[in-house]
């Protein structure tokens, strides 16, 4: 993939989010005829040798990028993170109970959905503080009969991120940890020794909407409730290498190109260094400003999603209009939180964050 000199705007969307320009260019170049096959990827049988090769490469690249151990299976599913909120309890709860650590909108949604399938306990919640911290695992109220413990490892809306995953075994809990890593997958390494299952939609950090990544430890397969749809039974999906039903072939292909791009950038460790630098640049600017504020506790701040507020909210529209005029798109905050949100996923270069900081500085100067 050759680097392109970009003239495109910087896109701060929370999702579906920016895709590396090189990936978009390659997908465009291969659109009508993939590798001399005479077919677009969208027109191929998912059981043909062309698509199988695309699939196998994507799976292998992802396994390498995320250092997924051999005892975990990689599944490419559909329905997004929201469907997984049901699919996880259908497969893992055994109809008994599960524990949820509620740290923002996404874990709250997961808890609510799981209640359709099992007893869902709140092991800890930061709702009372407004979702700006993370609860110390030592204080979590873990139920002895819980089949799993669910966390959202990066809360996309509230901008709260676990800097290390909880070690449930050290807390005396044998249940597997389930992480919703939709919005920070591949932005930092994953400690798989602490994880039983991870899921995430691709449209934040891995590619287009339509494919959901599930990484699941093998011993957790085969326990689905009888009512679980076959297409959502992890064992069925795993046994059929994600081809029990027609997989989202185009989305898997573009995600696969993104995996190649990530490898060319130096992999997840290099992305993590870049993401630390990007988020530090933005948070440092905000923290030194009298004009903008981020309310999240410093040790819980997300490297991917940075919600911030203008202290004078009457200037929000002017701020967004000025940003758009400079080619800085989709900075409006989520409606439940308000203010602004800059999502700075892997595809956002540090130059994009610098351009945002420049706008923020300039806007502050012209307003005072």
Ligand X SMILES: *Cc1c(COP(=O)(O)O)cnc(C)c1O
In this chain, which of 166, 201, 208, 307 binds ligand X, going by CB under 6 A? 201
Residue 174 and residue 146: Cα distance in Å, rounded? 9
Which two tokens mark 333?
A: 């905050």
Nearest distance, CB of residue 185 and ligand X, angstroms: 10
Cα dist from 76 to 58, 182, 202, 242, 252, whole Å: 10, 13, 10, 6, 8
205 is a contact residue toward ligand X (CB under 6 A) = no
- Establish whether 106 is a catalytic residue: yes
Cβ-based burial of 223 (10 A; exposed 0-12, middle 13-18, buried ≥19): middle
For ligand X, which residue has the nearest CB?
A: 80
80 is a contact residue toward ligand X (CB under 6 A) = yes
Q: With respect to ligand X, which residue has the nearer C-beta, 15 or 207?
A: 15
187 is a contact residue toward ligand X (CB under 6 A) = no
Give yes or no for a cis peptide into 23 (omega within 30° of 0).
Answer: no
Residue 356: CB atoms within 10 A of its CB come to 25
Nearest distance, CB of residue 145 and ligand X, angstroms: 26
Nearest distance, CB of residue 15 and ligand X, angstroms: 5
334 is a contact residue toward ligand X (CB under 6 A) = no
Selecting among 34, 106, 140, 261, the annotated active-site residue is 106
- 3-state DSSP assignment of residue 213: strand
**235 contact partners, CB below 8 Å, separation of at least 6:** 221, 222, 224
Determine the distance from the C-alpha atom of residue 22 to the mean position of all C-alpha atoms in its chain, rounded to a whole number: 21
Which two tokens mark 222?
A: 């085969």
* Choices 31-39, 76-84, 238-246, 345-353 (CB under 6 A): range interacting with ligand X: 76-84
Selecting among 61, 99, 180, 233, the annotated active-site residue is 180
- Establish whether 204 is a catalytic residue: yes
248 is a contact residue toward ligand X (CB under 6 A) = no
- Establish whether 284 is a catalytic residue: no
152 is a contact residue toward ligand X (CB under 6 A) = yes
| Catalytic sites, residue numbers | 106, 180, 204
Question: Could you list the residues that contact ligand X (CB under 6 A)?
Answer: 15, 80-82, 106, 152, 156, 180, 182-183, 201, 204
């Amino acid at each position: 993939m050759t680097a392109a000199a970009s003239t495109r705007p910087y896109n701060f969307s929370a999702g579906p989010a920016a895709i590396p320009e090189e990936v978009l260019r390659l997908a465009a170049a291969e659109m009508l005829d993939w590798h001399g096959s005479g077919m677009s990827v969208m027109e191929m049988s998912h059981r043909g040798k062309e698509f199988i090769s695309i699939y196998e490469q994507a799976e292998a690249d992802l396994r390498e990028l995320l250092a997924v151990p051999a005892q975990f299976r990689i599944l490419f599913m559909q329905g997004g993170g929201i469907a997984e909120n049901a699919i996880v309890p259908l497969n893992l709860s055994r109809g008994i109970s599960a524990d949820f650590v509620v740290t923002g909108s996404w874990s709250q949604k997961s808890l609510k959905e799981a209640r359709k399938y099992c007893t869902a306990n709140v092991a800890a919640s930061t709702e009372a503080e407004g979702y700006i911290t993370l609860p110390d695992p030592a204080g979590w109220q873990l139920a002895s009969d819980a089949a799993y413990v669910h966390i959202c490892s990066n809360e996309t809306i509230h901008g709260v991120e676990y800097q290390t995953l909880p070690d449930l075994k050290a807390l005396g809990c044998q249940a597997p940890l389930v992480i919703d890593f939709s919005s920070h997958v591949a932005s930092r390494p994953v400690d798989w020794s602490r994880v039983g299952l991870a899921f995430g939609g691709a449209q934040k950090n891995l590619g287009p909407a339509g494919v959901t990544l599930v990484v699941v430890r093998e011993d957790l397969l085969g326990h689905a409730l009888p009512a679980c749809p076959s297409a959502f039974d992890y064992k069925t999906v795993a046994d059929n290498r994600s081809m029990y039903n027609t997989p989202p072939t185009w989305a898997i292909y573009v995600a696969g190109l993104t995996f190649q791009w990530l490898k060319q950038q130096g992999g997840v460790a290099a992305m993590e260094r870049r993401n630390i630098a990007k988020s530090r640049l933005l948070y440092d600017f905000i923290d030194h400003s009298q004009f903008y504020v981020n309310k999240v506790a410093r040790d819980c701040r997300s490297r991917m999603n940075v919600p911030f507020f203008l202290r004078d909210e009457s200037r929000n529209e002017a701020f967004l209009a000025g940003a758009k005029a400079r080619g800085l798109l989709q900075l409006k905050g989520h409606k439940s939180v308000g203010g602004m949100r800059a999502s700075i996923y892997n595809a956002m270069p540090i130059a994009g964050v610098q351009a945002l900081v420049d706008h923020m500085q300039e806007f502050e100067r012209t307003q005072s």
